[in-house]
């Protein structure tokens, strides 16, 4: 497993070593010891999975304490553009985002620690997205920012027109970044 630091502190890309042969492939998708050595010493309490069609945009979400979550995210099938936004008030990268393509082919993962908004856009039909979380879901602790916030200026996709994006009603009415009172 190769752990790579992104331009935003504590946000990590995990590249597993994949063994391929005529039968298919094998890789270790999670190793607590290796992640702990990289500074991710966390107990995961829940696994979540979503199935989405191309153009589904989920996010940008987080949970505040005492239910703040760290997420280890990956794609089992299909492809997404995964985005994390630093909302740690004292961070030198506050308000900055990082995006990465995660797919069932590249097997990359992203560690999104507490203190980040998270979202993703599916770039292929029948995408299966899964993630381990370090705390349980709590509806009252949810916070979020609208996906197309002008201050964040996230380039989601040139391939999928905005009019074709599939969003939940909840995600369509999230507030803008400048109104976020970050609890981190």
Residue range(s) defining the domain that contains residue 88: 2-179
Spatial neighbors of 44 by CB under 8 A, at least 6 apart, are 72, 132, 133, 134
Residue 142 domain-assigned (yes or no): yes
Helices (H) and strands (E) in the chain, counts: 2, 13
Residue 91 domain-assigned (yes or no): yes
Secondary structure of 66-90 in HEC code, one letter for each residue: CCCCCEEEEEEECEEEEEEEECCCC
The SS3 assignment for 150 reads: coil
Question: How does DSSP classify residue 175?
Answer: P
Residue 100 domain-assigned (yes or no): yes
Residue 158 in this model has a pLDDT that exceeds 90: no
* Residue tagged active-site, from 25, 27, 61, 97: 61
Active-site annotation holds for 131 = yes
The SS3 assignment for 5 reads: strand
Active-site annotation holds for 118 = no
* Residue tagged active-site, from 27, 98, 131, 137: 131
- pLDDT by residue (tens digit) across 52-83? 999 999 999 999 999 999 999 999 999 999 99
Place of tokens 């009172």: 181
Question: How does DSSP classify residue 176?
Answer: P
Least confident range of 30-34, 38-42, 158-162: 158-162
CB 176 within 8 A of CB 146: yes
**Percent of the chain having pLDDT more than 90?**
98
Bond into 33 cis (ω within 30): no
What is the spatial distance between Cα 51 and Cα 125, in angstroms, rounded to a whole number? 9
Residue 59 domain-assigned (yes or no): yes
Residue 130 domain-assigned (yes or no): yes
What is the spatial distance between Cα 79 and Cα 6, in angstroms, rounded to a whole number? 20
Mean pLDDT value of segment 72-95: 98
Other C-beta atoms closer than 10 Å to the C-beta of 148 total 16
- pLDDT by residue (tens digit) across 100-155? 999 999 999 999 999 999 999 999 999 999 999 999 999 999 999 999 999 999 99
Nearest partner of 147 among 51, 66, 80, 58, judged by Cα: 58
Residue 184 domain-assigned (yes or no): no
CATH classification of the domain holding 28: 2.60.120.10
Nearest partner of 39 among 63, 62, 5, judged by Cα: 5
Residue 52 domain-assigned (yes or no): yes
Residue 12 domain-assigned (yes or no): yes
Backbone angles phi, psi at 14, to 5 degrees: -115, 120
Mean pLDDT value of segment 161-172: 95
- pLDDT by residue (tens digit) across 9-26? 999 999 999 999 999 999
Whole-prediction pTM value? Answer: 0.96
Residue 173 in this model has a pLDDT that exceeds 90: yes
Structural domain total, the chain: 1
């Amino acid at each position: 497993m190769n752990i790579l630091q992104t331009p935003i502190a504590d946000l990590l890309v995990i590249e597993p070593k994949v063994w391929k042969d005529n039968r298919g492939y094998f890789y270790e998708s999670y190793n607590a010891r290796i992640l702990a050595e990289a500074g991710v010493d966390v107990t995961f309490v829940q696994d979540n999975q979503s199935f989405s069609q191309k153009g589904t945009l989920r996010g940008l979400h987080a949970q505040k304490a005492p239910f703040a979550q760290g997420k280890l995210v990956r794609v089992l099938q299909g492809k997404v553009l995964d985005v994390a936004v630093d909302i740690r008030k004292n961070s030198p990268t506050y308000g900055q985002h990082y995006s990465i393509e995660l797919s069932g082919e590249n097997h990359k993962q992203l560690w999104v620690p507490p203190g980040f908004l998270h979202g993703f856009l599916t770039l292929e039909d029948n995408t299966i997205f899964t993630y381990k979380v370090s705390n349980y879901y709590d509806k009252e602790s949810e916070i979020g920012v609208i996906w197309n916030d002008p201050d964040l200026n996230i380039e989601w996709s040139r391939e999928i027109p905005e009019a074709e994006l599939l969003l939940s009603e909840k995600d369509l009415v999230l507030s803008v970044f400048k109104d976020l009172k970050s609890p981190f």
